[in-house]
A and B are shown apart, each in its own frame.
Chain A
């Protein structure tokens, strides 16, 4: 269970990107995080695994207050939180399999990883995870040779290597075309349904949120604007979240 309590983030330049945000996510939920660009979605996701240091508030995960623990402990906690990104963030010059194996780094003793050594079982896991996201045969290509959708699937496989309980996805399909988007979203849905992972996924399109999520959390100017099931977002709510001029467009 993930509890966010009064989370506030003020950047060094004084900009308040998150303003007193609170919500609780029970295990196994698929949460869509929506809001205009600049509303604080990325900031929120990065506060949860402390890639960004929150300014105030608490993040309590399985009883442990993540805002109070040391950097070293946070590193250990991050092992159980996968994260995928809009830009996929693969190491483009490295092989696909190396990118996937990097998901094990948190569990490896550093001496071994310096020598680029991974146990055989990890390599098997890596291949299995690539198989699972449907690109097993690409394992020994350079990451840069893959298409966008394939790269995002590599990123999912990398996150899976961490054996995560929670998956943070920051606009994972925003740079993909609609068909590929659904492919990637289906894999996330699959992780949620079959492996019971909690997923917090920020999305641009409400239609994707409606199609895949159990619950929608909307941010506006860093504040929590809406928290509830996607069905409850009617036209009025929509305009509250996205502004008066906005019109909902779909992605099919």
Chain B
């Protein structure tokens, strides 16, 4: 065959490839088939008669939801039967007609167990649902099925008649006594009404929709903010010199600690002022307004809207720095005070609203002390009053929650605001001096600042690591990333010629990345062992909480050790790169936020719900928290994709005018993303309604809880109502949200 030397090897190769494809296909098929075993597909079970009947019943009931009820009158007519003919001389009375004219006759009127008895009903309630019961002289009565139709449920015909046969039941020791055959008919009387379960379903459905609404609305602002950090096109251009980055981190940390410890008291004081607890409510309302107005006037005076003077930052004067500092101090105090006072005012207002709301409620309801879920017949006027009262109180409750929440997290607010202000000022002031530093000093400064920042960063990571075994991996991972970078930087700086990246030979790139991995693995193992992370992972025990004293401050030894690792690694890294090299801050933030979003998104809300139920108890609040967290991640991702899809032209144009990053976002990005943001928010609300219908299965409240209860009680007709309600609401929302999205895009 191989007479042509050129095609020979080629044909063999083709044959080999074909063979490999066949092998792969066979392996793939085996793998796929295994799936059918793993999932226990079993065609016998669904054929079992009992199962078929069960599923038939369940489905029938589910599809016959108990939406309506109607009062029913039950009337009974009886006929007598003597057990064992001739066993007694008791006379068998004739059947007596009911006052409505209905009568039941049986024949024979005496007999043994197992005998068949003809039952004839006439003149009774037309079309009434009817049951035949056997009533022995003592003991339980028993349902009898009609032997002809083999059913217990009987419907009388339109003349109120029926004829059928029943079997005499086995009832010991009742010979010679009279038994009764009872025809019990129920027929509707009174109006058709919504059943209790329907009313409950409506209440729970409203709760469900509100859960979805709340989760979505809380998620929107948070997700919007995160989405900018998770958008590659916005983040990639953000670079910072290493010196500025270090200054910013260092002073953020200092500011955060200082703010949280010094200013949160001030914020809480502001809250008390706003609440009227310090100087009365009049001062409480006026003081914040005065302070805010004064501060705004001051800030405006300090900061003219336009600033044409400087050609470059080198023109910045000491006076500019001073102004910047005063600005920062004013702004920090202003924000902390205003937020605190507003929170306090909310709490005060909430209390007033509770009182006002209650005063609007109709008097008689106050006395009854009704709850939301009880339904009383109210006339429209009373209903309006009652609803107004509930509405006012609801606003009050919301304000109270917001106010209390702000007061609770005041240390965080104060810390973050102060941290941002301080790091802003510090990096502004340091910019020009850092830039003009001589080469050696740049590296020395880099080393010092890097070591400090590294210590802080690693201490924070270690603190997280002390909370759960898996988080213990954070320090080794961070150490690995930095150490890997150190090795590859050493290589690129010292060994390869300083070529621009695209020109760098492939081999160099490969060596650099090889070195990265070597450094990373070594640092990971070292940090892992030093901190004994392995033990935490195996035993689930957390690091020991022994403390050691550093400069008179008691700190966890574990954190100190980690800080030491960070100190050394970041010190080396800082020394290598120096303060003037660029750090791709944007890309780092992008990667971090993308990772966080993807991780959170991959956890189903049902699982989150389980955790939140442990924290806040069974009920809709747990569901709202779970849905909110999931929505933040999901919306953050969707939003950020919208940001990445915007027309880059306007962004470029606004940037080319000399606008800063924030200005570019406000003027070029936000106008473009509003329509898709609204569309995706609708879409998310839609999903959240679906999710909140099932989050109740893990205790998250809403209609899911009701559905689960009914299913557990085997009340399929009641469950059917919930299922129907879910179907209606979900498809309605589906339709509306699709409609709105279509209109918008």
Instruction: Determine the chain A residues whose CB is within 8 A of the CB of B303 once the complex forms.
Output: 109, 111-112
Complex interface residues of chain A between 90 and 119 (CB less than 8 A to chain B): 90-94, 98, 102-114, 116-119
Instruction: Determine the chain B residues whose CB is within 8 A of the CB of A75 once the complex forms.
Output: 658-660
A33 within 8 A of B: no
Complex interface residues of chain B between 619 and 665 (CB less than 8 A to chain A): 649-650, 652-660, 662-663
Query: In whole Å, how far is B561's beta carbon from the nearest beta carbon of chain A?
Result: 37
Instruction: Provide the A222-238 mask, 1 if CB < 8 A to any CB of B, else 0.
Output: 00000000000000000
A127 within 8 A of B: no
Instruction: Determine the chain B residues whose CB is within 8 A of the CB of A109 once the complex forms.
Output: 303-307
**Which of B658, B659, B662, B666 has the most chain A CB atoms inside 10 A of its CB?**
B658
B217 within 8 A of A: no
A244 within 8 A of B: no
A52's nearest neighbour on chain B, judged by CB, is B652
A69's nearest neighbour on chain B, judged by CB, is B312
Bound Cα distance from A14 to B502, whole angstroms: 5
Query: In whole Å, how far is B501's beta carbon from the nearest beta carbon of chain A?
Result: 8
**Which of A102, A109, A162 has the most chain B CB atoms inside 10 A of its CB?**
A102
- By the criterion CB–CB under 8 Å, are B671 and A106 in contact? no
- By the criterion CB–CB under 8 Å, are A119 and B656 in contact? no
- By the criterion CB–CB under 8 Å, are B649 and A89 in contact? yes
Residue B500 contacts which of A55, A85, A108, A168 (CB distance < 8 angstroms)? A55
- By the criterion CB–CB under 8 Å, are A51 and B656 in contact? yes
Instruction: Determine the chain A residues whose CB is within 8 A of the CB of B650 once the complex forms.
Output: 89-92
- By the criterion CB–CB under 8 Å, are B305 and A108 in contact? yes
- By the criterion CB–CB under 8 Å, are A76 and B310 in contact? yes
Known contacts A64-B312, A70-B313, A89-B649; decide if A110 and B663 are in contact (CB<8 Å).
Answer: yes
- By the criterion CB–CB under 8 Å, are B502 and A12 in contact? yes
Instruction: Provide the A48-81 mask, 1 if CB < 8 A to any CB of B, else 0.
Output: 0101000110000000100001111101111101
Complex interface residues of chain B between 136 and 158 (CB less than 8 A to chain A): none
Residue A83 contacts which of B239, B653, B666, B671 (CB distance < 8 angstroms)? B653
B667 within 8 A of A: yes
Number of chain B interface residues as a range: 35 or more
- By the criterion CB–CB under 8 Å, are A11 and B502 in contact? yes
A87 within 8 A of B: yes
A10's nearest neighbour on chain B, judged by CB, is B502
- By the criterion CB–CB under 8 Å, are A91 and B668 in contact? yes
A41 within 8 A of B: no
Residue B667 contacts which of A71, A78, A105, A161 (CB distance < 8 angstroms)? A105
B580's nearest neighbour on chain A, judged by CB, is A70
A158 within 8 A of B: yes
Instruction: Determine the chain B residues whose CB is within 8 A of the CB of A10 once the complex forms.
Output: 500, 502-503
Bound Cα distance from A109 to B313, whole angstroms: 14
Query: In whole Å, how far is B461's beta carbon from the nearest beta carbon of chain A?
Result: 29
Complex interface residues of chain B between 52 and 85 (CB less than 8 A to chain A): none
B666's nearest neighbour on chain A, judged by CB, is A114
- By the criterion CB–CB under 8 Å, are B658 and A102 in contact? no
- By the criterion CB–CB under 8 Å, are A108 and B656 in contact? no
- By the criterion CB–CB under 8 Å, are B502 and A78 in contact? no
Size of the A side of the interface (Cβ < 8 Å), in residues, is 57
Instruction: Determine the chain B residues whose CB is within 8 A of the CB of A155 once the complex forms.
Output: 653
Bound Cα distance from A89 to B299, whole angstroms: 34
- By the criterion CB–CB under 8 Å, are A107 and B306 in contact? yes
- By the criterion CB–CB under 8 Å, are B503 and A85 in contact? no
Bound Cα distance from A208 to B346, whole angstroms: 66
A190 within 8 A of B: no
A122 within 8 A of B: yes
Bound Cα distance from A72 to B660, whole angstroms: 8
- By the criterion CB–CB under 8 Å, are A76 and B666 in contact? no
- By the criterion CB–CB under 8 Å, are A87 and B657 in contact? no
B435 within 8 A of A: yes
Instruction: Determine the chain A residues whose CB is within 8 A of the CB of B660 once the complex forms.
Output: 75, 105-106, 110
Residue A78 contacts which of B310, B314, B657 (CB distance < 8 angstroms)? B657
B431 within 8 A of A: yes
**Which of B310, B655, B657 has the most chain A CB atoms inside 10 A of its CB?**
B657
Residue A105 contacts which of B299, B308, B659, B672 (CB distance < 8 angstroms)? B659
Instruction: Provide the B290-318 mask, 1 if CB < 8 A to any CB of A, else 0.
Output: 00000000010001111110111110000
Known contacts A55-B500, A83-B653, A93-B671; decide if A78 and B305 are in contact (CB<8 Å).
Answer: no
Instruction: Determine the chain B residues whose CB is within 8 A of the CB of A112 once the complex forms.
Output: 303, 305
- By the criterion CB–CB under 8 Å, are A56 and B658 in contact? no
A161's nearest neighbour on chain B, judged by CB, is B657
Query: In whole Å, how far is A157's beta carbon from the nearest beta carbon of chain B?
Result: 12
Known contacts A10-B500, A76-B312; decide if A105 and B654 are in contact (CB<8 Å).
Answer: yes
Query: In whole Å, how far is B320's beta carbon from the nearest beta carbon of chain A?
Result: 12
Instruction: Determine the chain B residues whose CB is within 8 A of the CB of A93 once the complex forms.
Output: 671-672, 674
B241 within 8 A of A: yes
Known contacts A14-B502, A91-B671; decide if A119 and B657 are in contact (CB<8 Å).
Answer: no
**Which of A103, A106, A110, A159 has the most chain B CB atoms inside 10 A of its CB?**
A106
- By the criterion CB–CB under 8 Å, are A119 and B662 in contact? no
Bound Cα distance from A69 to B239, whole angstroms: 13
Complex interface residues of chain A between 109 and 165 (CB less than 8 A to chain B): 109-114, 116-119, 122, 155, 158-159, 161-162
Instruction: Determine the chain A residues whose CB is within 8 A of the CB of B304 once the complex forms.
Output: 109
Known contacts A64-B312, A109-B305; decide if A56 and B500 are in contact (CB<8 Å).
Answer: yes
Bound Cα distance from A85 to B503, whole angstroms: 31
- By the criterion CB–CB under 8 Å, are A113 and B667 in contact? yes
Known contacts A76-B658, A110-B660; decide if A102 and B307 are in contact (CB<8 Å).
Answer: no
Instruction: Provide the B429-460 mask, 1 if CB < 8 A to any CB of A, else 0.
Output: 00100010000000000000000000000000
Bound Cα distance from A105 to B239, whole angstroms: 20
Complex interface residues of chain B between 357 and 380 (CB less than 8 A to chain A): none
Bound Cα distance from A89 to B650, whole angstroms: 4
- By the criterion CB–CB under 8 Å, are B667 and A119 in contact? no
Bound Cα distance from A87 to B652, whole angstroms: 11
Instruction: Determine the chain B residues whose CB is within 8 A of the CB of A106 once the complex forms.
Output: 657-660
Known contacts A10-B500, A77-B311; decide if A105 and B658 are in contact (CB<8 Å).
Answer: yes
- By the criterion CB–CB under 8 Å, are B313 and A72 in contact? yes
Known contacts A55-B500, A87-B649, A94-B671; decide if A76 and B311 are in contact (CB<8 Å).
Answer: yes
Known: A72-B431, A108-B306, A168-B656. 15 other contacts (CB 8 A): A55-B500, A56-B500, A70-B241, A78-B657, A79-B658, A81-B656, A85-B653, A91-B650, A93-B674, A105-B654, A105-B667, A106-B659, A106-B660, A114-B663, A119-B306
Instruction: Pick the 6 closest A-B CB pairs, nearest first.
Output: A106-B658, A105-B659, A79-B658, A89-B653, A89-B649, A78-B658
Of the A-B pairs whose beta carbons lie under 8 Å apart in the complex, a sample of 11, sorted by A's number, is A12-B501, A70-B313, A73-B314, A76-B312, A78-B656, A87-B649, A94-B667, A106-B660, A107-B658, A108-B305, A119-B305
Residues of A within 8 A of B (CB): 10-14, 49, 51, 55-56, 64, 69-73, 75-79, 81-83, 85, 87-94, 98, 102-114, 116-119, 122, 155, 158-159, 161-162, 168
Residues of B within 8 A of A (CB): 239, 241, 299, 303-308, 310-314, 431, 435, 500-503, 649-650, 652-660, 662-663, 666-668, 671-672, 674
